[in-house]
């Protein structure tokens, strides 16, 4: 049996699923006619955007979700992120996971200045009169529920917008929002 692999630029407002009990949720199946058995590898929550892998191969899903694969995110945060906050996130911060305290693994964090050239979001973030924002790049090798959002909040700079830009060696690049591409395999290492 041959497997199918896809990369997509998940738009803001979609959930990383094909079925949902809740009405009026935008699902991945609205973006493309995927083969039966297609699953998202990892997730991006409804408010997050960017690179998402889909596959019909469960073993590939396990490999991508392993701790050896880097996932890079661009996060627009509330306020002008400080060097102290960046160092704190790099070393690991305590976040809550399922009611338990969890210390994130050390990771790569860097301020993005100037701000990255990213597509406008379908829904405005907020008015500039609410104060400045800044951007950081965060590269992790784990993937706890809403981890990057929880990390920036723990460092004192809540995330306003989150875009996954890389998984392994696969880059989002200038892929248009909502585009789906079938690929032979994923560039992981």
Distance (Å, whole) CA 5 – CA 54 = 6
Segment 118-124 long-range contacts (CB within 8 Å, at least 24 positions apart): 118/74, 118/163, 119/176, 119/177, 121/12, 121/49, 121/161, 122/11, 122/12, 122/13, 123/12, 123/13
Q: Catalytic residue among 21, 33, 45, 174, which?
A: 45
The answer to whether the bond into 41 is cis (omega within 30° of 0) is no
CB 184 within 8 A of CB 12: no
Q: Catalytic residue at 184? A: no
How far apart are alpha carbons 134 and 184 in whole angstroms? 37
> Measured between alpha carbons, how far is 64 from 42 in angstroms, rounded to an integer?
8
Catalytically annotated residues: 45
């Amino acid at each position: 049996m041959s497997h199918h692999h896809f990369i997509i630029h998940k738009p803001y407002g979609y959930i990383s699923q094909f079925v949902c009990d809740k009405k009026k949720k935008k699902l991945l199946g609205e973006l493309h006619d995927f083969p039966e058995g297609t699953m998202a590898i990892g997730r991006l929550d409804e408010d997050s955007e960017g690179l998402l892998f889909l596959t019909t191969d469960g073993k590939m899903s396990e490999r991508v979700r392993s701790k050896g694969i880097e996932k890079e995110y661009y996060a627009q945060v509330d306020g002008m992120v400080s060097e102290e906050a960046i160092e704190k996130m790099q070393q690991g911060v305590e976040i809550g996971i399922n009611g338990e305290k969890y210390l994130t693994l050390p990771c790569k964090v860097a301020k993005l200045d100037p701000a990255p050239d990213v597509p406008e979001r379908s829904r405005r973030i907020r008015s500039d009169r609410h104060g400045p924002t800044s951007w950081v790049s965060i590269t992790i090798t784990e993937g706890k529920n809403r981890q990057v959002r929880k990390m920036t909040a723990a460092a004192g700079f809540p995330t306003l917008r989150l875009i996954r830009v890389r998984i392994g060696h696969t880059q989002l690049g200038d892929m248009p929002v909502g585009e789906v591409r079938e690929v032979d395999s994923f560039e992981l290492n």
